[in-house]
């Protein structure tokens, strides 16, 4: 297959796409399948609460400057949810669920979307609160690691998004001005953080009923999936 040209005449390459991973590329809600044995009819609720507590713990740790990595926040959130719902999990059960978190699937639109972004000349970088080791395992399991130039993890500076320092990380890693970096995320807090730092941002709104946070920052683009994102960026 011939190489795809990334420039036309004197036109500069399109720039950098910084993709959030959990909730944008990888579907955390898919963990519900693994929760059904322990939580039975409340598996869906457990999955939702697990994700909410996971994010809450990262926010609190970043504000307190009491860092523990995303994997530990995920484990502590699981412990919290099992206690809240009155479900006793043994150590083997917890380990199995945390291992399953490293094998979550990508959303169905992701692979084709990444192919199209790559073909358009964008440099694709993972910008994540997750540890590099765990995110690499996720991307490899999902069969999409080849599309990412690098993984930029907040773990490198011991904080979490939406700390501005995390968005600065990807700008430095991409070695490009802010105006050439797009942060793409399914998480409104992430979009707001990127916009506050000065990046462009596209919100992947897979749930049409979801309402964006009423802040002074809003996404430059709103799309339903990564394939729509390609079309939106081509219009720019």
Q: Mark whether 210 and 150 lie in a shared domain.
A: yes
Tell me how far apart the alpha carbons of residues 35 and 58 are, in angstroms, rounded to a whole number: 22
Beta bridge partners of 125: 18, 150
Q: What pairing do the DSSP bridges indicate for beta strands 123-128 and 150-153?
A: parallel
Domain that holds residue 150: 16-27+105-234
Is-above-0.95 flag for pTM? no
Tell me how far apart the alpha carbons of residues 209 and 191 are, in angstroms, rounded to a whole number: 18
Q: Mark whether 94 and 155 lie in a shared domain.
A: no
Q: Quick one: residue 122, left, alpha or beta (phi over 0 = left, psi -120 to 50 = alpha)?
A: beta
| CA-only gyration radius of the chain, Å | 18
Q: Mark whether 173 and 60 lie in a shared domain.
A: no
In this prediction, residue 235 carries a pLDDT of 83
Q: Mark whether 134 and 210 lie in a shared domain.
A: yes
Q: Mark whether 118 and 96 lie in a shared domain.
A: no
163 is catalytic: no
The CATH number of the domain where 73 resides is what?
Answer: 1.10.150.240
Q: Mark whether 53 and 110 lie in a shared domain.
A: no
In this prediction, residue 174 carries a pLDDT of 86
The CATH number of the domain where 222 resides is what?
Answer: 3.40.50.1000
Tell me how far apart the alpha carbons of residues 236 and 226 are, in angstroms, rounded to a whole number: 16
Given 42, 77, 103, which residue is the final one in a domain?
103
Q: Mark whether 175 and 148 lie in a shared domain.
A: yes
Q: Mark whether 215 and 140 lie in a shared domain.
A: yes
The number of domains in the chain is: 2
Q: Mark whether 121 and 220 lie in a shared domain.
A: yes
Q: 3-class DSSP state for residue 166?
A: helix
Tell me how far apart the alpha carbons of residues 131 and 152 are, in angstroms, rounded to a whole number: 9
7 in a domain, yes or no? no
Given 75, 103, 131, which residue is the final one in a domain?
103
**pLDDT by residue for the chain (236 residues), tens digit each?**
333 333 344 455 679 999 999 999 999 999 999 999 999 999 999 999 999 999 999 999 999 999 999 999 999 999 999 999 999 999 999 999 999 999 999 999 999 999 999 999 999 999 999 999 999 999 999 999 999 999 999 999 999 999 999 999 999 998 889 989 999 999 999 999 999 999 999 999 999 999 999 999 999 999 999 999 998 998 87
Q: Mark whether 98 and 158 lie in a shared domain.
A: no
Q: Mark whether 85 and 161 lie in a shared domain.
A: no
In this prediction, residue 14 carries a pLDDT of 78
Q: Mark whether 98 and 113 lie in a shared domain.
A: no
């Amino acid at each position: 297959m011939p190489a795809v040209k990334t420039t036309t005449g004197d036109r500069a390459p399109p720039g950098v796409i910084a993709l959030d991973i959990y909730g944008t590329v990888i579907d955390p809600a898919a963990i519900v399948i693994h929760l059904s044995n322990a939580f039975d009819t409340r598996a869906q609720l457990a999955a939702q609460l697990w994700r909410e507590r996971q994010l809450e713990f990262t926010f609190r740790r970043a504000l307190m400057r009491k860092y523990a990595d995303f994997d530990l926040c995920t484990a502590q959130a699981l412990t919290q949810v099992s206690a809240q719902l009155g479900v006793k999990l043994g150590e083997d059960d917890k380990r199995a669920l945390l291992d399953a978190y490293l094998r979550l699937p990508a959303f169905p639109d992701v692979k084709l979307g990444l192919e199209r972004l790559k073909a358009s000349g964008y440099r694709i970088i993972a910008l994540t609160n997750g540890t590099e080791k765990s995110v690499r395992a996720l991307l490899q399991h999902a069969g999409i690691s080849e599309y990412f130039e690098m993984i930029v993890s907040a773990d490198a500076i011991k904080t979490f998004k939406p700390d501005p320092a995390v968005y600065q990380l990807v700008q430095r890693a991409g070695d490009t001005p802010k105006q050439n970096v797009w942060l793409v995320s399914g998480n409104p807090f992430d979009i707001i953080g990127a916009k506050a730092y000065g990046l462009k941002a596209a919100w992947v709104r897979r749930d049409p009923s979801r309402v964006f946070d009423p802040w002074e920052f809003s996404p430059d683009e709103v799309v339903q999936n990564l394939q729509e994102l390609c079309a939106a960026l081509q219009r720019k």
